[in-house]
Chains A and B, each alone.
Chain A
Amino acid sequence: MNLGGDRRTTYRLAMTALVVVLVAVVIAAIITGAAGMSPGQSLRALFALLRRGAGATGDFPAWAPRLLLDLRLPRIALAIVTGAALSTAGASFQGTFRNPLAEPYLLGVSAGAALGATVAIVWKPLGSLGIYTLPILAFVGAMIAAFLVYRLATFGGRTQSASLLLSGVAVGSTLTAILSFLMVTTERDLHTVVVWLMGGLTSATWTKVYITLPVVAVGFIYMMFLAKRMNLLLMGEERARELGVDSQRTRRNLMIAASLVTAAAVAFTGLIGFVGLMVPHIMRLIVGPDHRRLLPASALFGALLLLLADTVARTVLAPAEIPVGIITAAAGGPFFLYLLRRRGGA
């Protein structure tokens, strides 16, 4: 079996396929929805919008270009950015912790971000920062949670996979308890918090995309810059050091980058679980474990998967919506069990 040569070919094929399918899903997401417009009308409205702007008219309802521009397109963009963010963060956490089960959601990082976001919603501190308060607090929460989990799972310089997951669960539930306490102490903002926690792209706006995208893009570029080192870290901190990697610094920087990207995504979309677990895992089976290929492939597949899930979320019960977090969790839970069983059997 010639894995080396196969993997280069597989990678090119997979990337091409992912781009093609992503474009197809984007088009599908544009033309489906609860607005009572036919796919044909939606498409015509899209082309009119692209050529002549939001004021264009034609063989479609007059409000159609505005609807696409203000509702569907930012939602699609945010789904793509968030999906890519969660997946690449998941891949980085798995690389940093040398554990294929590591994921922002399981590691308590999402819970930290959620607590930060809840604090922002309920207490409204740092009022002068306006719309940035929530992402900043979500980021701080994610970082604190990540370092707590990491420190608690490290004994004498070694981080064991099992203790990592356990401390992730422990820190996660402690933070969730604090979060729940905050929720019962507030009546006014309870609904906002609950909707945020369920995870969804319902309230997507271009502003949110503009805030999230640069953070995710910079985080992704930085992860790619560290991809080779991440490969070496998979052999353990000490071995990576012997091969010339400044392991501790690389690991710390990767954690910061992955937490940052997670926080940026989670800040606006709430808790969307399991994307960061499933996507890198499936991609690893296809393109192999090399992060230089795994990260781009995961970004594309994560974007595709979350967009698909969100499109399903807003169409199956239309005009009602299912929070997309429910769909990813419904698919991810069984997938996680499958991984556990498979690892146990191997």
Chain B
Amino acid sequence: MGTAGHQGPVYDVRGLTVDLGARRVLESVDLQIPAGRFLGILGPNGSGKTTLLRALAGTVKPVAGEALLFGKPTHTYRAAELARVVGVVPQQFSLEFSFTVSEMVAMGRYAHSGADHDETAVTAALADTGLGDLADRAVTQLSGGERQRALIAQTLAQETPVLLLDEPLNNLDLNHQLEVMQLLGRLHAAGRTVVVVLHDLNIAAQYCEHLVLVDRGRVAAQGTAAEMLDPKVILEVFRVRVAVHRQGARPYITPLWTKAREATPETEALNVHVMAGGGAASELLEELVLHGFTPSVGVVSVFDTDYVTAQRYELDVLSAPPFQPFPADAVAQMEDLAAHSDAVVVAPVFFSTGNIDLLRVALESARRGRTVVFVDAGSIAERDLTDGRAAELVGQALQAGAIAVPGSREAADVLRRIADDRPR
């Protein structure tokens, strides 16, 4: 097989540069894939991830650099030699002639021509992909998902130590998507090196141990799944805002569906602090994040819904132990944060003696001439559990120049105007 005595990584990609026609699709990509890795390649459409996979498969020839497979450039392998080492599942295939599923899968044995072992390999590949019952069905009569699995089975029949898959989950129902990923997981556990191009970050993070993010023909980031599922990285590569949930063993993300304008340098430069608590700030935080702000939050108790929300968006949070007044050092940090913020937003929180410090700090900021925004200030009387002390502080702040807005959306608009009007 030529792989036996090889030391070092399965793939060693150095300065790989690929042109398709006149267009540069990959620009000096460096990538190492050690034996036995389960690697996901992700990136926006047109980022070059499929071309990267094709370069690993030896189907495209680089204009500079090389993709070394077991120390030898992929495009210099003979076809049959390569097919014994690397199995490729392309994004699509066409077979308009009515071969049976098992005939099609048996084609995967071409490079190993004529061993007794052929039949067992085909049977195993069919079983692995759940196609045992369809073995004698014509390929032309299969559904999209069954065709996709037949293609994977054909590749499995090659029995290669390396598997490359280009978006193998296309056309598959959710249950078959999971079946395929579990199959890849089993193959990986059995010692194969698996490289898979995916477009679903969550599925990738669930199954792949390492991820490579490709953007505009370059490797934008690579690392463990936990490292790659970072809102900043994903914003940079996919230009999408996401929330990361790290409760389980593997992180997952949810995109922030938004019609808001994109983040601008202005919004990112504006330091905003949010006075939160009791879940009153969750909607506000979401709104601000959607508008491109990354506010700091606090002080909130660690059992507070607002605390969880802030964590989800990976915001800086000042936290305090539950069921007791804020400790002095947390309050001191809040004063410091507020002093360094361009704007302070006060959510419609219920105020008691435990969290009255929020209003005191807000009032100080207003008196220093900072922008202070009260969301739904009109309802302060109903939210005041301090015999009027909270309402009084809000009144004083408004007199000192603080702004009252009816809701979260308007608060975001106010900040947006400030951000846009600020001199550079």
Contacts from A to B (Cβ < 8 Å):
1-7, 98, 100, 156, 228-229, 231-232, 234-236, 238-239, 241-247, 284, 288-290
Query: Closest residue to A94 on the B side, CB-wise?
Result: B97
Name the residue among B59, B79, B103 with the largest chain A CB count within 10 angstroms.
Answer: B79
Q: Give Cα A247–Cα B57 distance, bound, in whole angstroms.
A: 15
Q: Say whether A242 contacts B96, CB under 8 Å.
A: no
Whether A284 contacts B97 in the complex (CB less than 8 A), given A4-B103, A231-B107, A243-B111, comes out as yes
Our pick among A2, A234, A244, A245 for the contact of B97 (Cβ within 8 Å) is A234
Q: Say whether B79 contacts A3, CB under 8 Å.
A: no
Q: Say whether B103 contacts A242, CB under 8 Å.
A: no
User: Per-residue 0/1 for B101-119: is the Cβ within 8 Å of any A Cβ (1 yes, 0 no)?
Assistant: 0110001101101000000
B371 CB-CB contact with A under 8 Å: no
Q: Say whether A241 contacts B79, CB under 8 Å.
A: yes
Query: Closest residue to A239 on the B side, CB-wise?
Result: B93
Contacts from B to A (Cβ < 8 Å):
21, 57, 59, 78-80, 82-84, 87-88, 90, 93-100, 102-103, 107-108, 110-111, 113, 135-138, 154, 158
Q: Give Cα A244–Cα B157 distance, bound, in whole angstroms.
A: 13
Q: Give Cα A290–Cα B138 distance, bound, in whole angstroms.
A: 12
Jot down 18 A-B pairs with beta carbons below 8 A, ordered by A. A4-B100, A5-B136, A7-B100, A98-B96, A100-B97, A232-B107, A234-B99, A239-B90, A241-B59, A243-B83, A243-B108, A243-B110, A243-B158, A244-B79, A244-B83, A244-B84, A247-B79, A288-B99
Whether A232 contacts B110 in the complex (CB less than 8 A), given A1-B136, A239-B93, A242-B57, comes out as yes
A-B contacts counted at CB < 8 A amount to 83
Separation in Å of the A100 CB from the closest CB of chain B? 7
Whether A236 contacts B94 in the complex (CB less than 8 A), given A4-B136, A242-B57, comes out as yes
Query: Closest residue to A290 on the B side, CB-wise?
Result: B103
Q: Give Cα A288–Cα B90 distance, bound, in whole angstroms.
A: 25
Name the residue among A3, A231, A284, A288 with the largest chain B CB count within 10 angstroms.
Answer: A3
Q: Say whether A235 contacts B95, CB under 8 Å.
A: yes
Our pick among B80, B90, B100 for the contact of A3 (Cβ within 8 Å) is B100
Q: Give Cα A247–Cα B59 distance, bound, in whole angstroms.
A: 12
Q: Say whether B110 contacts A238, CB under 8 Å.
A: no
Separation in Å of the B97 CB from the closest CB of chain A? 4
Q: Say whether A238 contacts B90, CB under 8 Å.
A: yes
Q: Give Cα A315–Cα B99 distance, bound, in whole angstroms.
A: 41
Q: Give Cα A231–Cα B105 distance, bound, in whole angstroms.
A: 12
Q: Give Cα A235–Cα B158 distance, bound, in whole angstroms.
A: 16
Given A231-B99, A242-B88, output 17 extra A-B contacts at Cβ < 8 Å.
A3-B137, A4-B102, A4-B103, A100-B96, A234-B97, A235-B107, A236-B93, A241-B79, A242-B57, A242-B59, A242-B90, A243-B111, A244-B79, A245-B79, A246-B78, A288-B100, A288-B103
Q: Say whether B137 contacts A156, CB under 8 Å.
A: no
Q: Give Cα A244–Cα B109 distance, bound, in whole angstroms.
A: 9
Whether A288 contacts B98 in the complex (CB less than 8 A), given A4-B136, A244-B79, A244-B80, comes out as yes
Q: Give Cα A156–Cα B154 distance, bound, in whole angstroms.
A: 27
Q: Say whether B111 contacts A244, CB under 8 Å.
A: yes
Contacts of B90 in A (CB 8 A): 238-239, 242
Q: Say whether B99 contacts A289, CB under 8 Å.
A: yes
Contacts of B80 in A (CB 8 A): 244-246
Q: Say whether A290 contacts B99, CB under 8 Å.
A: yes
Contacts of A241 in B (CB 8 A): 59, 79
Query: Closest residue to B154 on the A side, CB-wise?
Result: A243
**4 residue pairs, one from A and one from B, having the closest CB atoms:** A244-B83, A244-B111, A289-B97, A244-B80
Contacts of B96 in A (CB 8 A): 98, 100, 234
Query: Closest residue to B112 on the A side, CB-wise?
Result: A244
Separation in Å of the A154 CB from the closest CB of chain B? 15
Query: Closest residue to B109 on the A side, CB-wise?
Result: A243
Q: Give Cα A86–Cα B8 distance, bound, in whole angstroms.
A: 54
Q: Give Cα A312–Cα B27 distance, bound, in whole angstroms.
A: 67
Separation in Å of the A227 CB from the closest CB of chain B? 12
Q: Say whether B99 contacts A242, CB under 8 Å.
A: no
Contacts of B82 in A (CB 8 A): 244
Separation in Å of the A90 CB from the closest CB of chain B? 14
Q: Give Cα A235–Cα B89 distance, bound, in whole angstroms.
A: 13
Contacts of A284 in B (CB 8 A): 97-98
Q: Give Cα A28–Cα B256 distance, bound, in whole angstroms.
A: 81
Q: Give Cα A232–Cα B158 distance, bound, in whole angstroms.
A: 14
Query: Closest residue to A231 on the B side, CB-wise?
Result: B107
Query: Closest residue to B57 on the A side, CB-wise?
Result: A242
Q: Give Cα A246–Cα B78 distance, bound, in whole angstroms.
A: 8
Separation in Å of the A102 CB from the closest CB of chain B? 12
Q: Give Cα A156–Cα B60 distance, bound, in whole angstroms.
A: 13
Q: Say whether B102 contacts A244, CB under 8 Å.
A: no
Q: Give Cα A238–Cα B136 distance, bound, in whole angstroms.
A: 25
Contacts of A6 in B (CB 8 A): 136
Q: Give Cα A253–Cα B230 distance, bound, in whole angstroms.
A: 53
Contacts of B99 in A (CB 8 A): 231, 234, 288-290
Contacts of B108 in A (CB 8 A): 243
Q: Give Cα A49–Cα B111 distance, bound, in whole angstroms.
A: 52
Separation in Å of the B92 CB from the closest CB of chain A? 10
Contacts of B97 in A (CB 8 A): 100, 234, 284, 289
Query: Closest residue to B138 on the A side, CB-wise?
Result: A3
Q: Give Cα A228–Cα B78 distance, bound, in whole angstroms.
A: 18
Q: Give Cα A244–Cα B97 distance, bound, in whole angstroms.
A: 20
Name the residue among B57, B78, B136 with the largest chain A CB count within 10 angstroms.
Answer: B136
Query: Closest residue to B87 on the A side, CB-wise?
Result: A242
Contacts of B136 in A (CB 8 A): 1-6
Separation in Å of the B242 CB from the closest CB of chain A? 35
Q: Give Cα A288–Cα B158 distance, bound, in whole angstroms.
A: 24
Separation in Å of the A232 CB from the closest CB of chain B? 5
Contacts of B57 in A (CB 8 A): 242
Name the residue among B83, B84, B88, B99 with the largest chain A CB count within 10 angstroms.
Answer: B99
